[in-house]
């Protein structure tokens, strides 16, 4: 079965898609057959388009995102509105189908750990069932220390194969921006903290990652191991 890295976040909109896509780009440049999935997606299709841009023609849109909801709400809310349920075993079956076809699978979660996906399970339960590596994405801004440490503590209880924190630069800063990386690296140790650079305000896709290849190679070296 493929090496599997689950990308979760301290919140929604923290940069999970950018990081997940850059990981797939990085692995594919190394000659590995790497795929990306986002099992649950609500609202815009933009995240799926970004993931598809770094794995052209590798997976169908339905394989990348088997469960899509038009309303930008938690999957469980959307399912209840539609009077449906998606059991955890069905989600795992969709993931296993892709896992068997690649060397590395990067899975982007929905929002944070406690987002409810279906009746009786949340993102954290999916991670626990997969028994995979976990990368926690957080924003480099005021408040990230608390949010990140809470998420790290929760992920540790899931007993992941590996755990890392990815601190995303935003292009703007505040009084905490210069010190967040250092203090998180100290407090999260022995787990690595990766400083992910701001790649600009262009629409993310293959061209952006290709243009930032040298930077990403250095930044993502932690994940070669």
H-only helix segments in 54-102: 61-64, 75-81, 88-99
Residue 29 annotated among the catalytic residues of the structure: no
Domain ranges of the chain: 3-224
Give the residue from 204, 217, 192, 196 showing the smallest Cα distance to 138: 196
Q: Which of 16, 38, 131, 156 is catalytic?
A: 38
Question: What average pLDDT does range 183-199 have in this prediction?
Answer: 96
> Which CATH class, in words, describes the domain spanning 3-224?
alpha beta
Residue 163 DSSP SS3 = strand
Tens-place pLDDT, residues 56-106? 999 999 999 999 999 999 999 999 999 999 999 999 999 999 999 999 999
Q: Return the residue matching tokens 């075993």.
A: 89
Considering the entire predicted model, what is its pTM? Answer: 0.96
Question: What average pLDDT does range 23-49 have in this prediction?
Answer: 96
């Amino acid at each position: 079965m493929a090496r599997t890295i689950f990308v979760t976040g301290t919140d929604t909109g923290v940069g999970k898609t950018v990081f997940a896509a850059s990981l797939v780009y990085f692995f594919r440049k190394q000659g590995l057959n790497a795929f990306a999935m986002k099992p649950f997606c609500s609202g815009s299709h933009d995240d799926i388009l970004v993931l598809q841009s770094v794995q052209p023609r590798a997976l169908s849109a339905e394989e990348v995102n088997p469960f899509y909801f038009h309303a930008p709400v938690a999957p469980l809310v959307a399912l209840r509105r539609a009077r449906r349920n998606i059991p955890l075993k069905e989600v795992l079956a969709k993931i296993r189908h892709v896992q068997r076809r690649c060397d590395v699978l990067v899975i982007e979660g929905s929002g944070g750990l406690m987002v409810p996906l279906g009746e009786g399970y949340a993102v954290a339960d999916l991670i626990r069932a997969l028994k995979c590596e976990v990368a926690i994405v957080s924003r480099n801004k005021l408040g990230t220390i608390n949010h990140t440490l809470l998420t790290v503590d929760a992920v540790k209880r899931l007993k992941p194969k590996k755990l890392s924190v990815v601190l995303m630069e935003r292009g703007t800063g505040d009084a905490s921006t210069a010190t967040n990386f250092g203090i998180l690296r100290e407090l999260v140790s022995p787990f690595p903290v990766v400083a992910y650079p701001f790649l600009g305000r262009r629409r993310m896709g293959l061209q952006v990652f290709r243009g930032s290849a040298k930077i990403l190679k250095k930044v993502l070296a932690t994940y070669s191991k």
